[in-house]
Amino acid sequence: MDVPRRKPEDDPRIKARIDAAGRFGFTLGCIAAVAAVTINLMRAPRPYSLVSLVLAVLMAALNVPFGIMLGLLGERLTRPKDKRK
């Protein structure tokens, strides 16, 4: 008997795990972004210039995609193996 095969991305359970991992990674990225802005602005000389504010925000914005990427990588590494093989 031939078992119809689905790509792993089509399985609803895996889609739910990917969605949850993406939301978790986004949350991690936002927390890291707030921490990065805080640290950068604490180290910047006062009064803040426009350049220092823009630089702090742009450096912090890089944390959000990295957080999402780490969340999705963690989901991929912890995904249960298919038992049908």
For the stretch 63-77, pLDDT in tens is 999 999 999 999 889
**CA distance to 64, 65, 67, per residue, from 30 (Å):** 6, 9, 8
Does the residue 60 lie in any domain? Answer: yes
pTM: 0.75
Does the residue 37 lie in any domain? Answer: yes
Does the residue 4 lie in any domain? Answer: no
Q: How many domains does the chain have?
A: 1
As given in the structure block, the two tokens for residue 76 are 């991929």
Does the residue 35 lie in any domain? Answer: yes
For the stretch 11-35, pLDDT in tens is 788 888 889 999 999 999 999 999 9
Mean pLDDT for all residues in the chain: 85
Does the residue 2 lie in any domain? Answer: no
Q: Which domain holds residue 55?
A: 15-78
